[in-house]
Amino acid sequence: MIEGLIGFALVLVLVFMRLPIAFAMGVVGLFGYASETSMPAAISMSSRLIIDTAQNYGLSVVPLFILMGLFVNKGGLSRELYQVSYSFLGHFKGGLAMATIVACGGFSAICGSSLATAATMSKVAMPQMRKYGYHDQLSTASIAAGGTLGILIPPSVILVIYGLLTETSIGQLFMAGIVPGMIGILFYLFAVRYTVARNPEMGPAGERTNWRDRIKALYGVWAVLLLFFVVIGGLYGALNVWPLNLAFSPTEAAGMGAMGAFIIALARRNLSWKDMVEVLLETAQTTATLFSVLIGAWIFSNFVNYAGLPTDLLALVTSFSVEPMVVIFIILGVYLVLGCVFESLSMMLLTVPIFFPLVTDLGFDPVWFGIIVVVITEISLITPPVGLNVFVLKGVLGDVTTGTIFRGVTPFWMVDILRLLLLVLVPWLVLFLPQSMR
Protein backbone atom coordinates (compact mmCIF):
# COMPACT_ATOMS: atom_id res chain seq x y z
CA MET A 1 0.00 0.00 0.00
CA ILE A 2 2.83 2.40 0.87
CA GLU A 3 4.37 2.01 -2.58
CA GLY A 4 1.04 2.83 -4.25
CA LEU A 5 0.54 5.95 -2.12
CA ILE A 6 4.10 7.12 -2.87
CA GLY A 7 3.40 6.60 -6.58
CA PHE A 8 0.19 8.62 -6.34
CA ALA A 9 2.05 11.43 -4.57
CA LEU A 10 4.81 11.39 -7.20
CA VAL A 11 2.24 11.76 -9.98
CA LEU A 12 0.79 14.79 -8.21
CA VAL A 13 4.26 16.33 -7.85
CA LEU A 14 5.10 15.77 -11.51
CA VAL A 15 1.76 17.25 -12.63
CA PHE A 16 2.34 20.34 -10.47
CA MET A 17 5.74 20.62 -12.16
CA ARG A 18 3.74 20.90 -15.43
CA LEU A 19 4.64 17.48 -16.79
CA PRO A 20 1.69 16.26 -18.93
CA ILE A 21 -0.54 13.86 -17.01
CA ALA A 22 0.01 11.08 -19.58
CA PHE A 23 3.78 11.13 -19.05
CA ALA A 24 3.47 11.60 -15.28
CA MET A 25 1.31 8.49 -14.87
CA GLY A 26 3.31 6.51 -17.44
CA VAL A 27 6.73 7.27 -15.92
CA VAL A 28 5.62 6.63 -12.34
CA GLY A 29 3.76 3.49 -13.39
CA LEU A 30 6.76 2.16 -15.35
CA PHE A 31 9.34 2.68 -12.62
CA GLY A 32 6.91 1.70 -9.87
CA TYR A 33 6.13 -1.58 -11.63
CA ALA A 34 9.86 -2.12 -12.16
CA SER A 35 10.50 -1.64 -8.44
CA GLU A 36 7.90 -4.33 -7.68
CA THR A 37 9.13 -6.75 -10.38
CA SER A 38 12.01 -5.86 -12.71
CA MET A 39 12.77 -3.32 -15.41
CA PRO A 40 12.45 -5.88 -18.28
CA ALA A 41 9.05 -6.92 -16.93
CA ALA A 42 7.94 -3.27 -16.67
CA ILE A 43 9.09 -2.49 -20.22
CA SER A 44 7.36 -5.63 -21.50
CA MET A 45 4.11 -4.66 -19.72
CA SER A 46 4.21 -1.10 -21.07
CA SER A 47 5.00 -2.09 -24.64
CA ARG A 48 2.24 -4.71 -24.58
CA LEU A 49 -0.25 -2.05 -23.43
CA ILE A 50 0.78 0.31 -26.25
CA ILE A 51 0.38 -2.43 -28.87
CA ASP A 52 -2.94 -3.62 -27.42
CA THR A 53 -4.27 -0.06 -27.39
CA ALA A 54 -3.35 0.48 -31.03
CA GLN A 55 -5.05 -2.80 -32.01
CA ASN A 56 -8.12 -2.49 -29.76
CA TYR A 57 -11.25 -2.37 -31.94
CA GLY A 58 -13.33 -1.01 -29.05
CA LEU A 59 -11.20 2.13 -28.93
CA SER A 60 -12.34 3.12 -32.42
CA VAL A 61 -15.43 4.57 -30.75
CA VAL A 62 -13.29 7.47 -29.47
CA PRO A 63 -12.22 9.06 -32.80
CA LEU A 64 -15.65 8.38 -34.30
CA PHE A 65 -17.52 10.31 -31.60
CA ILE A 66 -14.93 13.09 -31.77
CA LEU A 67 -15.42 13.21 -35.54
CA MET A 68 -19.18 13.34 -35.07
CA GLY A 69 -18.92 16.32 -32.72
CA LEU A 70 -16.61 18.24 -35.04
CA PHE A 71 -18.86 17.65 -38.07
CA VAL A 72 -21.85 18.83 -36.04
CA ASN A 73 -19.94 21.97 -35.10
CA LYS A 74 -19.08 22.63 -38.74
CA GLY A 75 -22.70 22.00 -39.70
CA GLY A 76 -23.77 25.08 -37.75
CA LEU A 77 -26.38 23.24 -35.70
CA SER A 78 -25.62 25.18 -32.52
CA ARG A 79 -27.33 28.32 -33.87
CA GLU A 80 -30.53 26.44 -34.71
CA LEU A 81 -30.61 24.82 -31.28
CA TYR A 82 -30.24 28.19 -29.61
CA GLN A 83 -32.99 29.68 -31.82
CA VAL A 84 -35.44 26.95 -30.78
CA SER A 85 -34.64 27.42 -27.10
CA TYR A 86 -34.91 31.18 -27.40
CA SER A 87 -38.28 31.01 -29.17
CA PHE A 88 -39.83 29.15 -26.21
CA LEU A 89 -37.97 30.75 -23.28
CA GLY A 90 -36.63 34.12 -24.40
CA HIS A 91 -39.63 36.18 -23.20
CA PHE A 92 -39.10 35.21 -19.54
CA LYS A 93 -36.82 37.10 -17.18
CA GLY A 94 -33.52 35.29 -17.50
CA GLY A 95 -35.04 33.52 -20.50
CA LEU A 96 -32.01 33.98 -22.75
CA ALA A 97 -29.79 32.36 -20.11
CA MET A 98 -32.31 29.52 -19.81
CA ALA A 99 -32.35 29.16 -23.59
CA THR A 100 -28.55 28.96 -23.55
CA ILE A 101 -28.60 26.11 -21.02
CA VAL A 102 -31.23 24.15 -22.97
CA ALA A 103 -29.30 24.71 -26.21
CA CYS A 104 -26.10 23.53 -24.48
CA GLY A 105 -27.92 20.37 -23.43
CA GLY A 106 -29.07 19.76 -27.00
CA PHE A 107 -25.64 20.45 -28.44
CA SER A 108 -24.08 18.16 -25.83
CA ALA A 109 -26.25 15.32 -27.10
CA ILE A 110 -24.39 15.33 -30.42
CA CYS A 111 -21.04 16.81 -29.43
CA GLY A 112 -19.75 14.95 -26.37
CA SER A 113 -17.27 17.63 -25.27
CA SER A 114 -17.79 20.21 -22.53
CA LEU A 115 -15.06 22.53 -23.79
CA ALA A 116 -16.38 22.46 -27.37
CA THR A 117 -19.94 23.09 -26.12
CA ALA A 118 -18.88 26.10 -24.03
CA ALA A 119 -16.68 27.57 -26.77
CA THR A 120 -19.32 27.13 -29.49
CA MET A 121 -22.30 28.40 -27.52
CA SER A 122 -20.38 31.46 -26.32
CA LYS A 123 -20.14 32.63 -29.93
CA VAL A 124 -23.85 32.03 -30.50
CA ALA A 125 -25.47 33.10 -27.22
CA MET A 126 -23.25 35.87 -25.87
CA PRO A 127 -24.04 38.47 -28.60
CA GLN A 128 -27.79 37.93 -28.10
CA MET A 129 -27.63 38.28 -24.31
CA ARG A 130 -25.59 41.45 -24.60
CA LYS A 131 -28.10 42.79 -27.13
CA TYR A 132 -30.88 42.50 -24.54
CA GLY A 133 -28.82 43.97 -21.70
CA TYR A 134 -27.90 40.83 -19.80
CA HIS A 135 -25.18 41.20 -17.19
CA ASP A 136 -21.94 39.45 -18.20
CA GLN A 137 -21.97 37.62 -14.88
CA LEU A 138 -25.18 35.72 -15.69
CA SER A 139 -24.44 35.40 -19.41
CA THR A 140 -21.03 33.79 -19.04
CA ALA A 141 -22.13 31.65 -16.08
CA SER A 142 -25.01 30.12 -18.03
CA ILE A 143 -22.65 29.24 -20.90
CA ALA A 144 -19.95 27.82 -18.62
CA ALA A 145 -22.43 25.75 -16.60
CA GLY A 146 -24.41 24.62 -19.64
CA GLY A 147 -21.17 23.55 -21.28
CA THR A 148 -20.45 21.06 -18.50
CA LEU A 149 -23.36 18.94 -19.75
CA GLY A 150 -21.18 17.94 -22.71
CA ILE A 151 -19.38 15.25 -20.73
CA LEU A 152 -22.54 13.67 -19.31
CA ILE A 153 -25.33 13.67 -21.90
CA PRO A 154 -24.51 10.90 -24.40
CA PRO A 155 -22.56 10.44 -26.52
CA SER A 156 -19.87 11.49 -24.05
CA VAL A 157 -16.16 10.99 -24.72
CA ILE A 158 -15.32 10.93 -21.01
CA LEU A 159 -17.91 8.17 -20.43
CA VAL A 160 -16.25 6.22 -23.24
CA ILE A 161 -12.86 6.64 -21.53
CA TYR A 162 -14.32 5.52 -18.18
CA GLY A 163 -15.92 2.50 -19.85
CA LEU A 164 -12.66 1.49 -21.51
CA LEU A 165 -10.63 2.07 -18.35
CA THR A 166 -12.93 -0.03 -16.15
CA GLU A 167 -14.31 -2.48 -18.75
CA THR A 168 -17.84 -1.21 -18.10
CA SER A 169 -20.52 -1.29 -20.82
CA ILE A 170 -20.35 1.97 -22.79
CA GLY A 171 -23.94 1.51 -23.97
CA GLN A 172 -25.19 1.25 -20.38
CA LEU A 173 -23.11 4.26 -19.35
CA PHE A 174 -24.66 6.30 -22.17
CA MET A 175 -28.18 5.37 -21.09
CA ALA A 176 -27.34 6.07 -17.44
CA GLY A 177 -26.24 9.61 -18.33
CA ILE A 178 -29.57 10.70 -19.83
CA VAL A 179 -31.67 11.24 -16.67
CA PRO A 180 -28.86 12.92 -14.65
CA GLY A 181 -28.26 15.18 -17.67
CA MET A 182 -31.93 16.19 -17.77
CA ILE A 183 -31.89 16.80 -14.02
CA GLY A 184 -28.81 18.97 -14.53
CA ILE A 185 -30.61 21.11 -17.11
CA LEU A 186 -33.61 21.49 -14.78
CA PHE A 187 -31.45 22.48 -11.80
CA TYR A 188 -29.52 25.00 -13.90
CA LEU A 189 -32.82 26.59 -14.93
CA PHE A 190 -33.66 26.94 -11.23
CA ALA A 191 -30.26 28.59 -10.70
CA VAL A 192 -31.07 31.17 -13.39
CA ARG A 193 -34.47 31.87 -11.83
CA TYR A 194 -32.83 32.31 -8.43
CA THR A 195 -30.31 34.75 -9.87
CA VAL A 196 -32.87 36.96 -11.64
CA ALA A 197 -35.22 36.79 -8.64
CA ARG A 198 -32.47 38.35 -6.52
CA ASN A 199 -31.54 40.91 -9.18
CA PRO A 200 -34.02 41.28 -12.10
CA GLU A 201 -31.61 43.58 -13.94
CA MET A 202 -29.21 40.66 -14.45
CA GLY A 203 -31.50 39.09 -17.07
CA PRO A 204 -34.28 41.24 -18.55
CA ALA A 205 -37.02 39.58 -20.58
CA GLY A 206 -36.61 39.37 -24.36
CA GLU A 207 -39.20 39.46 -27.12
CA ARG A 208 -42.04 36.93 -27.23
CA THR A 209 -42.02 34.62 -30.26
CA ASN A 210 -45.30 33.62 -31.91
CA TRP A 211 -46.22 29.97 -32.44
CA ARG A 212 -45.65 30.12 -36.18
CA ASP A 213 -42.01 31.11 -35.66
CA ARG A 214 -41.62 28.52 -32.92
CA ILE A 215 -42.74 25.74 -35.24
CA LYS A 216 -40.44 27.09 -37.95
CA ALA A 217 -37.54 27.03 -35.48
CA LEU A 218 -38.36 23.44 -34.52
CA TYR A 219 -38.25 22.47 -38.17
CA GLY A 220 -34.67 23.73 -38.29
CA VAL A 221 -33.44 21.16 -35.75
CA TRP A 222 -35.05 18.01 -37.14
CA ALA A 223 -31.61 16.79 -38.22
CA VAL A 224 -30.28 17.05 -34.65
CA LEU A 225 -33.23 15.15 -33.24
CA LEU A 226 -32.94 12.46 -35.91
CA LEU A 227 -29.20 12.02 -35.33
CA PHE A 228 -29.65 11.72 -31.56
CA PHE A 229 -32.51 9.24 -32.00
CA VAL A 230 -30.50 7.07 -34.38
CA VAL A 231 -27.41 6.96 -32.15
CA ILE A 232 -29.12 6.49 -28.78
CA GLY A 233 -32.10 4.57 -30.14
CA GLY A 234 -29.75 2.10 -31.82
CA LEU A 235 -27.81 1.62 -28.59
CA TYR A 236 -30.90 1.25 -26.40
CA GLY A 237 -32.68 -1.06 -28.84
CA ALA A 238 -35.48 1.36 -29.73
CA LEU A 239 -34.76 0.75 -33.41
CA ASN A 240 -34.72 -3.03 -33.03
CA VAL A 241 -38.30 -3.36 -34.27
CA TRP A 242 -39.83 -4.23 -37.62
CA PRO A 243 -39.13 -3.05 -40.29
CA LEU A 244 -35.79 -1.54 -39.12
CA ASN A 245 -34.53 -4.32 -36.82
CA LEU A 246 -31.44 -2.26 -35.98
CA ALA A 247 -29.35 -2.63 -32.83
CA PHE A 248 -25.94 -0.97 -32.55
CA SER A 249 -22.84 -1.63 -30.56
CA PRO A 250 -21.17 1.58 -29.27
CA THR A 251 -18.67 1.50 -32.15
CA GLU A 252 -21.44 1.03 -34.73
CA ALA A 253 -23.47 3.83 -33.14
CA ALA A 254 -20.42 6.11 -33.26
CA GLY A 255 -19.90 5.26 -36.93
CA MET A 256 -23.55 6.00 -37.73
CA GLY A 257 -23.32 9.26 -35.80
CA ALA A 258 -20.16 10.38 -37.58
CA MET A 259 -21.62 9.54 -41.00
CA GLY A 260 -24.91 11.26 -40.14
CA ALA A 261 -23.13 14.40 -38.94
CA PHE A 262 -21.01 14.40 -42.13
CA ILE A 263 -24.13 14.17 -44.32
CA ILE A 264 -25.83 16.98 -42.37
CA ALA A 265 -22.79 19.23 -42.75
CA LEU A 266 -22.68 18.52 -46.50
CA ALA A 267 -26.43 19.11 -46.91
CA ARG A 268 -26.12 22.49 -45.21
CA ARG A 269 -23.24 23.41 -47.52
CA ASN A 270 -21.11 24.28 -44.48
CA LEU A 271 -18.23 21.91 -45.20
CA SER A 272 -15.44 22.93 -47.56
CA TRP A 273 -12.35 20.86 -48.42
CA LYS A 274 -10.36 23.05 -46.04
CA ASP A 275 -12.88 22.39 -43.25
CA MET A 276 -12.72 18.66 -44.00
CA VAL A 277 -8.95 18.61 -43.61
CA GLU A 278 -9.15 20.65 -40.39
CA VAL A 279 -11.77 18.28 -38.93
CA LEU A 280 -9.71 15.18 -39.74
CA LEU A 281 -6.50 16.72 -38.36
CA GLU A 282 -8.20 17.85 -35.15
CA THR A 283 -9.77 14.41 -34.74
CA ALA A 284 -6.36 12.76 -35.13
CA GLN A 285 -4.69 15.16 -32.68
CA THR A 286 -7.42 14.83 -30.04
CA THR A 287 -7.50 11.04 -30.39
CA ALA A 288 -3.72 10.79 -30.08
CA THR A 289 -3.82 12.92 -26.93
CA LEU A 290 -6.58 10.82 -25.37
CA PHE A 291 -4.86 7.56 -26.26
CA SER A 292 -1.61 8.80 -24.72
CA VAL A 293 -3.40 9.67 -21.49
CA LEU A 294 -5.26 6.36 -21.53
CA ILE A 295 -2.04 4.36 -21.99
CA GLY A 296 -0.39 6.28 -19.16
CA ALA A 297 -3.42 5.60 -16.93
CA TRP A 298 -3.33 1.87 -17.71
CA ILE A 299 0.41 1.65 -16.91
CA PHE A 300 -0.19 3.48 -13.63
CA SER A 301 -3.21 1.27 -12.91
CA ASN A 302 -1.14 -1.90 -13.39
CA PHE A 303 1.42 -0.55 -10.93
CA VAL A 304 -1.05 0.37 -8.16
CA ASN A 305 -2.90 -2.92 -8.58
CA TYR A 306 0.36 -4.92 -8.41
CA ALA A 307 1.41 -2.89 -5.39
CA GLY A 308 -1.87 -3.91 -3.73
CA LEU A 309 -3.20 -0.40 -3.09
CA PRO A 310 -6.90 -1.12 -3.87
CA THR A 311 -6.83 -4.35 -1.86
CA ASP A 312 -5.14 -2.67 1.09
CA LEU A 313 -7.59 0.24 0.94
CA LEU A 314 -10.49 -2.22 1.10
CA ALA A 315 -8.89 -3.97 4.09
CA LEU A 316 -8.36 -0.61 5.79
CA VAL A 317 -11.96 0.46 5.22
CA THR A 318 -13.26 -2.90 6.44
CA SER A 319 -11.17 -2.67 9.61
CA PHE A 320 -12.93 0.58 10.57
CA SER A 321 -16.37 -1.04 10.15
CA VAL A 322 -17.86 2.03 8.47
CA GLU A 323 -20.89 1.96 6.21
CA PRO A 324 -20.12 1.69 2.48
CA MET A 325 -21.97 4.97 1.85
CA VAL A 326 -19.59 6.74 4.24
CA VAL A 327 -16.71 5.55 2.04
CA ILE A 328 -18.48 6.99 -1.01
CA PHE A 329 -18.81 10.39 0.66
CA ILE A 330 -15.11 10.33 1.60
CA ILE A 331 -14.24 9.58 -2.04
CA LEU A 332 -16.50 12.45 -3.16
CA GLY A 333 -14.70 14.75 -0.73
CA VAL A 334 -11.37 13.75 -2.30
CA TYR A 335 -12.79 14.51 -5.76
CA LEU A 336 -14.02 17.94 -4.65
CA VAL A 337 -10.55 18.83 -3.35
CA LEU A 338 -8.75 17.48 -6.43
CA GLY A 339 -11.24 19.28 -8.67
CA CYS A 340 -9.95 22.61 -7.41
CA VAL A 341 -6.52 21.98 -8.95
CA PHE A 342 -6.98 19.30 -11.65
CA GLU A 343 -8.79 19.38 -14.97
CA SER A 344 -11.54 16.80 -15.38
CA LEU A 345 -10.00 14.04 -17.51
CA SER A 346 -6.72 14.04 -15.59
CA MET A 347 -8.54 13.80 -12.29
CA MET A 348 -10.67 10.88 -13.47
CA LEU A 349 -7.80 8.91 -14.98
CA LEU A 350 -5.62 9.42 -11.92
CA THR A 351 -8.20 8.33 -9.35
CA VAL A 352 -10.42 5.72 -11.01
CA PRO A 353 -7.69 2.99 -11.03
CA ILE A 354 -7.47 3.42 -7.25
CA PHE A 355 -11.11 3.95 -6.29
CA PHE A 356 -12.92 1.70 -8.80
CA PRO A 357 -11.81 -1.69 -7.33
CA LEU A 358 -12.65 -0.44 -3.83
CA VAL A 359 -16.11 0.79 -4.84
CA THR A 360 -17.06 -2.39 -6.73
CA ASP A 361 -15.77 -4.60 -3.88
CA LEU A 362 -18.09 -2.66 -1.55
CA GLY A 363 -21.00 -3.72 -3.76
CA PHE A 364 -21.73 -0.54 -5.70
CA ASP A 365 -22.74 -0.66 -9.36
CA PRO A 366 -19.86 0.33 -11.71
CA VAL A 367 -22.28 2.14 -14.05
CA TRP A 368 -23.65 4.20 -11.15
CA PHE A 369 -20.15 5.03 -9.93
CA GLY A 370 -19.16 6.12 -13.44
CA ILE A 371 -22.01 8.64 -13.59
CA ILE A 372 -21.20 9.91 -10.09
CA VAL A 373 -17.55 10.42 -11.12
CA VAL A 374 -18.60 12.34 -14.24
CA VAL A 375 -21.07 14.52 -12.32
CA ILE A 376 -18.48 15.51 -9.75
CA THR A 377 -16.04 16.05 -12.60
CA GLU A 378 -18.60 18.43 -14.12
CA ILE A 379 -18.50 20.45 -10.92
CA SER A 380 -14.72 20.80 -11.23
CA LEU A 381 -15.17 22.43 -14.65
CA ILE A 382 -16.74 25.54 -13.10
CA THR A 383 -15.16 25.76 -9.64
CA PRO A 384 -12.12 27.94 -8.84
CA PRO A 385 -9.22 28.05 -9.25
CA VAL A 386 -9.00 25.68 -12.27
CA GLY A 387 -12.53 25.74 -13.69
CA LEU A 388 -11.57 24.81 -17.23
CA ASN A 389 -14.84 25.99 -18.81
CA VAL A 390 -14.32 29.38 -17.18
CA PHE A 391 -10.90 29.77 -18.76
CA VAL A 392 -12.23 28.61 -22.14
CA LEU A 393 -14.82 31.40 -22.00
CA LYS A 394 -12.19 33.89 -20.89
CA GLY A 395 -10.08 32.90 -23.90
CA VAL A 396 -12.99 33.17 -26.35
CA LEU A 397 -14.49 36.41 -25.02
CA GLY A 398 -11.41 38.21 -23.78
CA ASP A 399 -13.20 41.27 -22.35
CA VAL A 400 -14.74 39.43 -19.37
CA THR A 401 -12.68 38.79 -16.24
CA THR A 402 -12.41 35.34 -14.72
CA GLY A 403 -13.63 36.83 -11.42
CA THR A 404 -16.89 37.88 -13.08
CA ILE A 405 -17.47 34.38 -14.45
CA PHE A 406 -16.58 32.64 -11.18
CA ARG A 407 -19.00 34.88 -9.24
CA GLY A 408 -21.73 34.10 -11.75
CA VAL A 409 -21.31 30.31 -11.63
CA THR A 410 -21.64 30.07 -7.84
CA PRO A 411 -25.41 29.27 -7.87
CA PHE A 412 -24.78 26.72 -10.63
CA TRP A 413 -22.18 24.64 -8.81
CA MET A 414 -24.30 24.85 -5.66
CA VAL A 415 -27.26 23.19 -7.44
CA ASP A 416 -24.75 20.74 -8.91
CA ILE A 417 -23.89 19.67 -5.36
CA LEU A 418 -27.60 19.11 -4.70
CA ARG A 419 -27.88 17.04 -7.88
CA LEU A 420 -24.86 14.98 -6.84
CA LEU A 421 -26.42 14.23 -3.44
CA LEU A 422 -29.69 13.28 -5.11
CA LEU A 423 -27.97 10.81 -7.47
CA VAL A 424 -25.89 9.32 -4.65
CA LEU A 425 -28.86 8.83 -2.34
CA VAL A 426 -31.29 7.71 -5.07
CA PRO A 427 -29.26 5.40 -7.38
CA TRP A 428 -32.44 4.35 -9.20
CA LEU A 429 -32.39 7.68 -11.08
CA VAL A 430 -29.12 6.59 -12.68
CA LEU A 431 -29.74 2.88 -13.09
CA PHE A 432 -33.32 2.35 -14.21
CA LEU A 433 -32.56 2.98 -17.92
CA PRO A 434 -29.38 0.86 -18.16
CA GLN A 435 -30.99 -1.92 -16.09
CA SER A 436 -33.77 -2.17 -18.66
CA MET A 437 -31.02 -3.05 -21.22
CA ARG A 438 -29.59 -5.93 -19.18
pLDDT digits (tens, 9 = 90+) for 316-372: 777 777 788 988 998 888 888 777 666 677 778 888 888 898 899 888 999 999 999
Rounded to the nearest angstrom, the gap between the alpha carbon of residue 192 and the centroid of all alpha carbons in its chain is 22
Q: Give the pLDDT band (50/70/90) at residue 428.
A: very high
pLDDT digits (tens, 9 = 90+) for 188-211: 999 999 999 888 888 887 778 888
What is the CB neighbour count within 10 angstroms for residue 326? 11
Of 269, 235, 230, 267, whose CA–CA distance to 249 is shortest? 235
- Please check the confidence at residue 234 and state whether its pLDDT lies above 80: no
Per the model's pLDDT, the better-predicted residue between 80 and 243 turns out to be 80
Spell out the residues 6+ positions from residue 61 whose beta carbon is closer than 8 angstroms to its own: 160, 170, 250, 251, 254
Given this model, what pLDDT does residue 134 score?
87
- Please check the confidence at residue 415 and state whether its pLDDT lies above 90: yes
Residue 343 — φ and ψ, nearest 5°? -80, 165
Average pLDDT, the chain: 82
- The 3 state secondary structure assigned to 344-403 is HHHHHHHHHHHHHHHHHHCCCCHHHHHHHHHHHHHHHCCCCCCCHHHHHHHHHHCCCCHH
Given this model, what pLDDT does residue 245 score?
59
Given this model, what pLDDT does residue 310 score?
72
- Please check the confidence at residue 237 and state whether its pLDDT lies above 80: no
List Cα–Cα distances, 343 to 80, 88, 384, in angstroms: 30, 34, 11
Given this model, what pLDDT does residue 176 score?
92
Q: Give the pLDDT band (50/70/90) at residue 1.
A: low
Given this model, what pLDDT does residue 422 score?
95
Least confident stretch, 13-27, 34-48, 413-427 = 13-27
Distance, in Å, from the CA atom of 361 to the CA atom of 364, rounded to the nearest integer, reads: 7
pTM, two decimals, is 0.82
Distance, in Å, from the CA atom of 82 to the CA atom of 197, rounded to the nearest integer, reads: 23
Mean of pLDDT values over 18-26: 82
Given this model, what pLDDT does residue 437 score?
66
Per the model's pLDDT, the better-predicted residue between 79 and 180 turns out to be 180
Distance, in Å, from the CA atom of 50 to the CA atom of 161, rounded to the nearest integer, reads: 16
Least confident stretch, 16-30, 103-117, 131-145, 391-405 = 103-117
Residue type (1 letter), 76: G
Mean of pLDDT values over 237-264: 72
pLDDT digits (tens, 9 = 90+) for 153-174: 887 888 888 988 888 988 889 8
Given this model, what pLDDT does residue 371 score?
95
